[in-house]
Structure 1
Amino acid sequence: MKNGILISALTMTMSLSSVFACDIHGKSGFMPENNLRISKYDKDTNGMTQEKFEAIIKRVSDAYAPIVATKGATLEMVNNWDDETVNAYANRNGNVWQVNMFGGLARHPLTTDDGFLLVVCHETGHHLGGAPKYGGGTDWAANEGQADYFGSLKCMKRILEKDDNVSIVAKMTVDAAATKACQLVYKNEGEVALCQRIAMAGKSLGQLLGSLGGDKAVNFSTPDKKIVKSTNDAHPAAQCRLDTYFSGSLCDKAFSEDVSETSPIPGVCIKRDGYKVGPRPLCWYKPGAGE
C-alpha cells in the first residue's frame, strides 16, 4: 500500500445491529473488517472528488428511489465523504432503507469510478437483490453473493445503459479475456462495451478485495474452482466475487426483469435454461433442484 495512505492502529468499530447488512451480524461491511483509513487529505489516492463521489451515488438514488417507493419505503443515501472508513454497508430503519457510503473506500487507489458505482449497486442490492437472502430467506437482506450478482446483472446495466459506452470503453484498458467473453454473448457494439465496462468495474473491486485479503492474483482467467455444499451467505473470496461480477455482466437477462424476494430463479441466468455463462458461481452458490 502506498505510504501516503494512513492506516489506523485501531480496529474499525462500527456498532451495527441485526438490521445491518454486509455481514448481517455487523462484523463487517462491503469488505471484511479492516483497519485501513484513507483521509481526504492523503495524496496517494485515486483522485476521487467529493463532487464525483456524490454524483455517482446520486445516479443510483435517482434510478432506484422510485422503485423503493413502490414498496412503501424510502431509499436514503448516507454520503459520508469525510469519513476515512474503507467500507460500505446497508441498513433499514423502519421504512427507511439506507445505503451508507464512505469517502475512504471511494478514495482507495484501486477503486475506479465504475468500481465505486458497483459498490453503491452492491449495497442497494442488499435491499432489492432478492433471493438468496441471509438466514435462509428469513432476513430482509440479500446475501453478499447475491448483492454482488445484482450489482452487475441489474443495477450497473440500469445505470449505465444510456451512456456512450463505446466511447468510454475506447479510452479504457480492458482485459482481453473480458472482451472475448463479452463478444461471445453480445453482438451489439454498445452491449459489448457495457459488458466490458461492468466487467472492469468488477475487476477493480476484485483487486481491491484481493489486496486486503492477501490474494493479489485475482483475474478473469483464473476463476475460483471451489464448489460449495451449501450457499454461503457471507463474503466469498476475492476471486469468487470477481467471478460473480463477471457472471452478472455476461448474463443477458434484461435489468427490467425483476428478481424475486423468495425464489432465486426469476430474472437471472440458470443452467436449466441453457446458460453456460451468466449463472451465479458455484464458489458461493448452491443451486436448487429446479436450476
Structure 2
Amino acid sequence: MKKLLKSLMVIALIIPSLSYSCDEHGLTGIMEENDLYIGPNEKGVSEVSYPDFKDVIERITRLYEKDFRKRGLTLFIQDSWENGSVNAYAQRKGSTALVNMFGGIARHETMSKDSLALVTCHELGHHIGGTPKKERPGYGYGSSRRKVYTWASNEGQADYFASMKCLRRYFEKEDNVKAIENREVPSFVRISCQNQFNSAEDVAICIRSALAGYSLANLFNSIRGRYSALSFENKDPSRVLKTYDNHPAPQCRLDTYFAGALCDKDLYDEVSDSEVDKGVCSRREGYVIGVRPLCWFRPFYQ
C-alpha cells in the first residue's frame, strides 16, 4: 500500500511538470495531431506550389518582423516544405518566436494560397494575437485559485487575430477586387461584407478573407471525418460557459474567421495581452457584427 501511495505521489508531481513544459515550451498546432502525411511528390493535391509556399512565408515575415522586435522577440518561420505533416506549429524558445510550416498542410486538397496565408497568420496569432491566453493546466486550483496563463493566445483568439488583423495586412497592398473577380462568392458573404465596408477594396478583402476561412475550415472538417457541410449563414449554436482554449469545432472556427473578416476595427489598432476588448470588435463597446463567437468565447462581463 505504501509503495502504491508513493507511486501515486510521484505521478502527481510529474503531471503538472509535463503540462507546464508542454504549454510553456512545447508546440501549439493549428489543429489536433493527426496521422495524415502528404509528401511533395504526391498527386491529386492542391495547386499550392513551393514558390507560393515560400512567398507566403517571406511576405508575412517581412510584414511582422518589426512588430516582434518591438516585443523583444525574433520571428522565425521555418520552411518545412518537404515535410508531409498536415499541420503547423508555434513554439517559443527564449526570445525566438518560432512558426513551423509543413508542406503537407499546403498540399491538402482543400487548401489555397490564401488559406495557407491564414494558417501562417494563425500561428503568428499564438505569439502576438492578444488575450485570451491559454490557461496552464494544473494551476488555478486550491486556496488562491489564481489562474496562470502561458505565452500563447488560445486557438479561437489566434483564429480571430488571423483574419481580423494579419490576413487583412497581408492583402492590404494587393488588387483584391481583381483577386476575387472570378471567384464563386456566396451571396450572404458578399452582402455581409458590403454592409460592413464602404470601399470596393475593403469589401474585396473581407470576401477574400472569408473564402480563405472557408477553405481552411473544410480542412478541419475533413481531418475530423465530418461530412456535414459548413455554412456562413447557419452558425454554430453552442454557447460555452467558460472560454474554451483548445480547437473549436470546424463550424465554430469558420464563424470566427468570418467574424474577423467582418470586424471593421482599424487594422493598426493593436490587440492587447491583458485587455480582452482592446483592438477588437467588442460586445462591451456595442458591436454586434464581427465579435468573437460564443461557441468558444465567454466575455467575463456576461
Taking the aligned partners of 2:266 and 2:185, their CA distance within structure 1 comes to: 23
Could you say which residue in structure 2 is the equivalent of 1:280? 292
Quick one: which of 215, 220, 244 aligns to 1:209?
A: 220
Could you say which residue in structure 2 is the equivalent of 1:114? 114
Deviations 1:95-121 (A, max 9, x none): 110010000001111011100100000
1:284 is paired with a residue of what secondary structure? coil
Deviations 1:66-121 (A, max 9, x none): 11011111000111000000000100110110010000001111011100100000
1:159 Cα deviation from its structure 2 partner: 1.1
Could you say which residue in structure 1 is the equivalent of 2:26? 20
C-alpha contact 1:86 1:102 (8 A) present in aligned 2: yes
Could you say which residue in structure 2 is the equivalent of 1:7? none
Deviations 1:251-273 (A, max 9, x none): 00112001011121100001222
1:188 Cα deviation from its structure 2 partner: 1.1
2:42 is paired with a residue of what secondary structure? coil
Letter in 1 for 2:300: G
Q: 1:186 aligned to 2:197?
A: yes
Taking the aligned partners of 1:165 and 1:99, their CA distance within structure 2 comes to: 27
Could you say which residue in structure 2 is the equivalent of 1:89? 89
Q: What pairs with 1:211-290 in structure 2 (closer than 5 Å)?
A: 211-216=222-227, 217-289=229-301
C-alpha contact 2:177 2:204 (8 A) present in aligned 1: yes
Letter in 2 for 1:258: E
Percentage identity across aligned positions? 43
C-alpha contact 1:243 1:281 (8 A) present in aligned 2: yes
C-alpha contact 1:46 1:110 (8 A) present in aligned 2: yes
Structure with the bigger percentage of helix: 2
The runs of at least 4 consecutive aligned structure 1 residues that moved more than 3 Å come to none
Q: 1:152 aligned to 2:158?
A: no
1:199 Cα deviation from its structure 2 partner: 0.3
Deviations 1:153-204 (A, max 9, x none): 0000111111100011102111221111101111211110000000000000
Taking the aligned partners of 2:186 and 2:114, their CA distance within structure 1 comes to: 15
* Alpha-carbon RMSD: 1.3
2:226 is paired with a residue of what secondary structure? coil
Taking the aligned partners of 1:17 and 1:287, their CA distance within structure 2 comes to: 27
1:137 Cα deviation from its structure 2 partner: 5.8
Letter in 2 for 1:246: F
1:139 is paired with a residue of what secondary structure? strand
Taking the aligned partners of 1:43 and 1:209, their CA distance within structure 2 comes to: 21
1:134 is paired with a residue of what secondary structure? strand
Could you say which residue in structure 2 is the equivalent of 1:6? none
Taking the aligned partners of 2:183 and 2:148, their CA distance within structure 1 comes to: 39
C-alpha contact 2:277 2:284 (8 A) present in aligned 1: no
Taking the aligned partners of 1:165 and 1:47, their CA distance within structure 2 comes to: 20
1:33 Cα deviation from its structure 2 partner: 1.3
TM-score by length of 2: 0.87
Runs of at least 5 residues in structure 1 that lack an aligned partner in the other structure: 1-15, 23-28
1:269 is paired with a residue of what secondary structure? coil
Letter in 1 for 2:211: M
1:280 Cα deviation from its structure 2 partner: 0.3
Farther-moved stretch of structure 1 (266-275 vs 147-156): 266-275
C-alpha contact 1:78 1:99 (8 A) present in aligned 2: yes
C-alpha contact 2:47 2:112 (8 A) present in aligned 1: no
1:21 Cα deviation from its structure 2 partner: 4.2
Could you say which residue in structure 2 is the equivalent of 1:11? none
Taking the aligned partners of 1:20 and 1:151, their CA distance within structure 2 comes to: 21
Could you say which residue in structure 1 is the equivalent of 2:14? none
C-alpha contact 1:137 1:262 (8 A) present in aligned 2: no
Q: In 2 relative to 1, CA 258–137 (structure 1 residues): closer, same or farther, beyond 3 Å?
A: farther
Could you say which residue in structure 2 is the equivalent of 1:51? 51
C-alpha contact 2:259 2:291 (8 A) present in aligned 1: yes
Q: Which is higher, the Rg of structure 1 or of structure 2?
A: 2
Could you say which residue in structure 1 is the equivalent of 2:174? 163
